[in-house]
Chain A
Amino acid sequence: QQQVKQSPQSLIVQKGGISIINCAYENTAFDYFPWYQQFPGKGPALLIAIRPDVSEKKEGRFTISFNKSAKQFSLHIMDSQPGDSATYFCAASLYNTDKLIFGTGTRLQVFP
């Protein structure tokens, strides 16, 4: 119940294409869903986050779509660029806690 399942494990996209990464969860007490981006040799960094009271959040080329009834959320990267090549982690946290439960990560490669 505490898990966050992420897919795919790896993704190859051509420059200009759309990258889509999916996550699913079981625990309906989760109330905060961030995405972290990690470049090789660096620590993860917050990219974008959403709460379950909205179905979509957009920041530039990055959009989170959230489906509360299906208990799924996804990251869409529009007009993918080689600089977006990184590992992406979805995560979830419980109400009133500091802890994040991370997905297993998706390695994205964007080819020119």
Chain B
Amino acid sequence: DARVTQTPRDKVTEMGQEVTMRCQPILGHNTVFWYRQTMMQGLELLAYFRNRAPLDDSGMPKDRFSAEMPDATLATLKIQPSEPRDSAVYFCASGTVLGETQYFGPGTRLLVL
């Protein structure tokens, strides 16, 4: 049963600390998406990759957020320094190029104190 995995599932940190979230897309999928979900803003697309190349990161605050795909089996989202307003659930999703369906991971719940 292929699925997207995300680590950690929960993260509590203090303001100013670095946070790294990891995602393992489904094997063979070549698009990866990072979303942030909050009650106020809903699901926001932060960044997306196709064949490991970043195609759109316009939804991401560039001064503190960065997203990378070091290889086809790992995507990372980093926040440095973290702020309380970054508290949210961060989802990774993967799919195939123009494949329509996005398969979401279980999310990382981040709380910044």
Residues of A within 8 A of B (CB): 32, 34, 41-46, 49, 89, 93, 96-100, 102-105
Contacts and interface: CB of A to CB of B under 8 A. Distances in A.
Contact of A43 (B48, B55, B97, B106): B106
Given A32-B100, A43-B104, A46-B101, A98 B31 contact: yes
Contact of B48 (A89, A99, A102, A104): A99
A85 to B, nearest CB: 17
Contacts of A44: 43, 91, 104
Contact of B101 (A34, A96, A102): A34
A104 B104 contact: no
Interface in B88-113: 91, 93, 95, 97-107
A32 B99 CA distance: 11
Nearest to B43: A102
A89 B43 contact: yes
Chain A interface main SS type = loop
Interface residues of B, number: 24
Chain B interface main SS type = strand
Contacts of A32: 100
Contact of B95 (A43, A96, A98): A98
Interface of B: 4, 31, 33, 42-43, 45, 48, 50, 55-56, 91, 93, 95, 97-107
B107 A43 contact: yes
A99 B43 contact: no
A34 B101 CA distance: 8
A98 B42 contact: no
B104 A98 contact: no
Contacts of A105: 42-43
A100 B102 contact: yes
Contact of B98 (A41, A46, A98): A98
B100 A93 contact: yes
B95 A42 contact: no
